[in-house]
């Protein structure tokens, strides 16, 4: 005779099967969470490396002594190298590189040809430069002991200050006419600039500015988003479009990266150190949290 399984035996089998199923599900869930976290860590690491490299590329084209740390809460700023306190926004003036690459001008003055406010720079194509957007900065501005400005903090027009070392220009043939007053010290090398740049996190800007709301970001994500601002000209009393201060806010903005928990910069031995702190929550696991650093010479 073959005995059938009793009800108790069947219950025990079902209980054992349920325990095995639960354990297998938990194990599979843990594997999937670890795989997802590893994938997010890899993606964020690659993305943040691209971002610090992009920032570095922009900064290598900066006018060195024009670089400042700015506090939009009170409008104060200090030059990199002279920072006495931490500032959340990094700003600098960028060279008009397209004109350099196209060799529309030489970048050097013929010192013997100076007459009044006119100087000659051979190689200039007088039709190539939009004088409404381009200004000129003398290399003499880099030597603070020789600067025209009585107050070096007001050399470039930052945040509605004076711009004693930045000049409007008019180009005719190979001659550049400068607005008055002409520089006290005229150096052979000069740079043309066309825009200022700023990098800031969402928590340090005016989030209600049109240029920010037009991006369509979720409000909860704006604080931890890192933005790049461009196409504004401090020597014309302009500031970036989402500044908390200023009367003339213009220019463009783009998103560098989201999930940025901190953005810091400092001057170390004549270099700028950029530090990004990345933090992203992962459902069912601990957050992905790491830092990425880049030194810019």
Sign of CA dihedral 95, 244, 90, 267: positive
Average pLDDT over residues 113-136: 57
Contacts of residue 280, Cβ cutoff 8 Å, sequence gap at least 6: 40, 44, 259, 287, 288, 289
When pLDDT is cut at 50, 70 and 90, the band that residue 79 belongs to is: confident
* 3-state DSSP assignment of residue 261: strand
pLDDT tens, 59-76? Answer: 998 888 789 999 999 999
pLDDT tens, 199-213? Answer: 999 999 999 999 999
> If you ran DSSP here, which 8-state letter would residue 204 be given?
G
Could you tell me which residues are beta bridge partners of residue 226? 201, 257
pLDDT tens, 6-41? Answer: 777 777 777 777 776 676 667 666 766 777 778 888
Mean pLDDT for the chain?
79
- pLDDT of 23: 65
- pLDDT of 46: 92
Tell the burial category of 110 from Cβ atoms under 10 Å away from its Cβ (0-12, 13-18, 19+). middle
Report the alpha-carbon distance of residue 84 to residue 77 in Å, rounded: 10
When pLDDT is cut at 50, 70 and 90, the band that residue 116 belongs to is: low
- pLDDT of 208: 96
pTM tops 0.85, yes or no: no
From its phi and psi, is residue 116 left (phi > 0), alpha (psi between -120 and 50) or beta? left
In the predicted structure, residue 250 carries a pLDDT above the cut 80: yes
In the predicted structure, residue 284 carries a pLDDT above the cut 50: yes
Report the alpha-carbon distance of residue 53 to residue 49 in Å, rounded: 6
Q: Tokens 């711009």 map to which residue?
A: 163
Report the alpha-carbon distance of residue 168 to residue 131 in Å, rounded: 8
pLDDT tens, 132-186? Answer: 666 666 555 444 444 444 455 667 889 988 777 777 776 665 566 666 555 555 5
When pLDDT is cut at 50, 70 and 90, the band that residue 128 belongs to is: very low
- pLDDT of 274: 94
- pLDDT of 240: 98
Phi and psi, residue 90, nearest 5°: -105, 130
Domain ranges of the chain: 50-296
What does 104-156 look like in DSSP terms, one character per residue? ---SB-EEEEEETTEEE-TT--TTS--TTT-EEEEGGGG-TTT-S-SSGGGSS
When pLDDT is cut at 50, 70 and 90, the band that residue 106 belongs to is: low
Report the alpha-carbon distance of residue 77 to residue 228 in Å, rounded: 18
Query: Alpha carbon of 176 to those of 110, 173, 255: distances in Å?
Result: 11, 8, 37
What does 169-185 look like in DSSP terms, one character per residue? EEEETTEEEEPSSPPSS
Selection from 61-70, 184-193, 257-266 with the highest mean pLDDT: 257-266
């Amino acid at each position: 005779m073959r005995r059938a399984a009793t009800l108790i035996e069947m219950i025990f089998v079902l209980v054992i099967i349920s325990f095995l199923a639960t354990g297998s599900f938990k194990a599979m869930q843990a594997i999937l969470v670890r795989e997802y976290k590893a994938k997010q860590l890899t993606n964020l690491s690659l993305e943040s490396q691209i971002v610090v490299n992009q920032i570095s590329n922009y900064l290598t084209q900066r006018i060195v002594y024009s670089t400042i740390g700015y506090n939009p809460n009170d409008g104060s700023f200090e030059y990199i190298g002279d920072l006495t306190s931490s500032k959340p926004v990094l700003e600098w003036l960028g060279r008009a590189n397209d004109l350099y690459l196209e060799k529309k001008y030489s970048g050097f003055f013929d010192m013997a040809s100076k007459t009044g406010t006119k100087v000659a720079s051979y190689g200039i194509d007088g039709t190539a430069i939009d004088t409404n957007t381009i200004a000129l900065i003398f290399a003499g501005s880099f030597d603070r002991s020789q600067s025209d400005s009585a107050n070096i903090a007001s050399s470039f027009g930052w945040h509605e200050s004076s711009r004693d070392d930045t000049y409007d220009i008019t180009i005719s043939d190979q001659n550049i006419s400068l607005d008055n007053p002409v520089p006290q010290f005229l150096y052979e090398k000069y740079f043309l600039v066309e825009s200022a740049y700023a990098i800031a996190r969402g928590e340090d800007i005016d989030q209600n500015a049109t240029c920010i709301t037009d991006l369509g970001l979720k409000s909860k994500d704006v604080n931890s988003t890192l933005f790049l601002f461009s196409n504004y000209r401090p020597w014309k009393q302009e500031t970036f479009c989402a500044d908390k201060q200023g009367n003339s806010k213009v220019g463009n903005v783009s998103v560098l990266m989201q999930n940025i928990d901190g953005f810091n910069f400092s001057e170390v031995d004549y270099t700028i150190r950029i530090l990004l702190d990345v933090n992203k929550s992962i459902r069912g696991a601990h957050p992905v949290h790491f830092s990425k650093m880049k030194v810019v010479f």
